[in-house]
Amino acid sequence: MLRSAQKQGRVRLKNGTATIRCGTMTSPGFLRCKVWAEYDGERYEGLATAAYEPTRIRPTVTEPAVFDTFWQSSLQELAAIPISSKMELLPERCTAEVNVYQVCLDNIQGSKMYGILTVPAKAGKYPVMLKVPGAGIRSYAGDVWSARNGIITFEIGIHGIPVTLPETLYEDLGKGALSGYTSIGLNNRQTFYYRRVYLGCSRAVDFLTSLEAFDGKNVAVSGGSQGGALTVVTAALNPKVSVVVSYYPALCDLTGFLHDRAGGWPHYFRDNWAADISGARTTLPYFDVVNFARRLTQPVMFSWGYNDEVCPPTSFYSAYNVVTAPKCVNIVEETGHWTYPEQWHKTDRFIRDHLKAIEQ
C-alpha cells in the first residue's frame, strides 16, 4: 500500500554494507525502503520497493452511475464543433523524407488544440500515431523519426496555445495563468481543466483519421505520466484507436490517500489539500483513469517500475488490474519516473507489430 513510514532509524555500515529488515505485508501492495547518507558535505538518497501480490490490488475510486452518460454527452458537444484544422508548414523542421506542420484544431468552449504533425513526404497510405504529453507547459518538436519510418505522428500540447513559441513564454504561463492547472475548475465536472483536455485528445484522433494519407485502420496512441493517463482515456473515448502504449500513467486511483494508501499524481488528496475543495470528491471519479481503463477494448502495453515516487505503483496497478482488453506490462523494477532505452525499444516493437503499414 505504500503507507507512511512504519519504521525509522539510523544504521551504521560495517565494511561498507548494512542489512535493513523492513518487515512484510499481509495485503497486496508495495513496501518501500528509503535511505539517506551524507558524505563529504553531500546528501545521497536511495530506495528499493518490493511488490506484494500487485495483481490483486483493487482500486478505491468509485464509478459514477452516470459516467458513460456524462462522457457521451461531452463527446456529442465536441462532435457539434467542426474540426476546422489549420496546418502551417514549418520549412525549417522539414527534411527530404518528412514534412512537418504545426496544426491547430477547434475544441470545446471556443478553445484550441495545437500540435506538431510529421508526415512522410512520399505519397502513400500510412498508419497514424498520437503522442500525448506529460505534465507541464512547453514547446514540442514533433516525431520526425517515426514519420521517417512510415508512421504519421501528431505530438500535441494540451493547453490550447501554440507549441512553437519561445520557452520563456511557457515558463511565464507556468508561473502565472496556468500555475496549478491540474486543479483549475476542480469543483465541477463541467469546468474541470481535464474535461477540455480529454475531449481535445479524442479530437486529435479524429483529425489524424481524416488525413488523406491515413491507411484507414491503424491508429496508435502513446504517452507517459500525464500522457500515460491520456493514452488510456483517449482509447476509451475514441474507438478509432487500435493500439495503446502507456508509461507509468498518472491520474489513477486518485482517492487512494483517503483509504490509507498512495493515490495517483497529482496527489489531490495527499495531506487532504483537495478535500476542502467543494465538489472535488464528486468531480474526480469522472476523470480517474481507473474508470476509463475498465472500458478499454484495444491491445495495450504498459511499462513502469516499482520505485516511482510521482505515480506510485499502487495507483497504476489499480488501473491495470481492471483492464479486460488484451494487455501486458513491461516491468523494470528498479526504475522510478523514468525509462531505460530498452523499454522504449520494446514498446516501439509492440506498436509496430500492431500497426500494419501498407507497403509503398
| Active site residue ranges | 225, 308, 337
Q: Which three cell numbers stand for residue 22?
A: 523492513
Amino acid (1-letter code) at residue 130: L
Amino acid (1-letter code) at residue 38: E
DSSP label at residue 269: T
Pairing of strands 112-120, 243-247: unpaired
What is the DSSP code string of 162-218? -SSS-HHHHHHHHHTTTTTGGGTTTT-TTT-HHHHHHHHHHHHHHHHHHSTTEEEEE
Q: What is the largest CA-CA distance in the chain?
A: 70
**Residue 329 dihedral angles phi and psi, to the nearest 5°:** -135, 130
d(CA 140, CA 233): 21
**Residue 151 dihedral angles phi and psi, to the nearest 5°:** -125, 120
Question: 3-class SS at 110?
Answer: helix
**Residue in 317, 258, 312 with CA at minimum distance from that of residue 53:** 317
- How many of the other CB atoms lie within 10 Å of CB of 39? 7
d(CA 30, CA 15): 30
Q: Which three cell numbers stand for residue 97?
A: 523524407
Angle CA(276)–CA(180)–CA(81) in degrees, nearest 5? Answer: 105
Amino acid (1-letter code) at residue 53: E
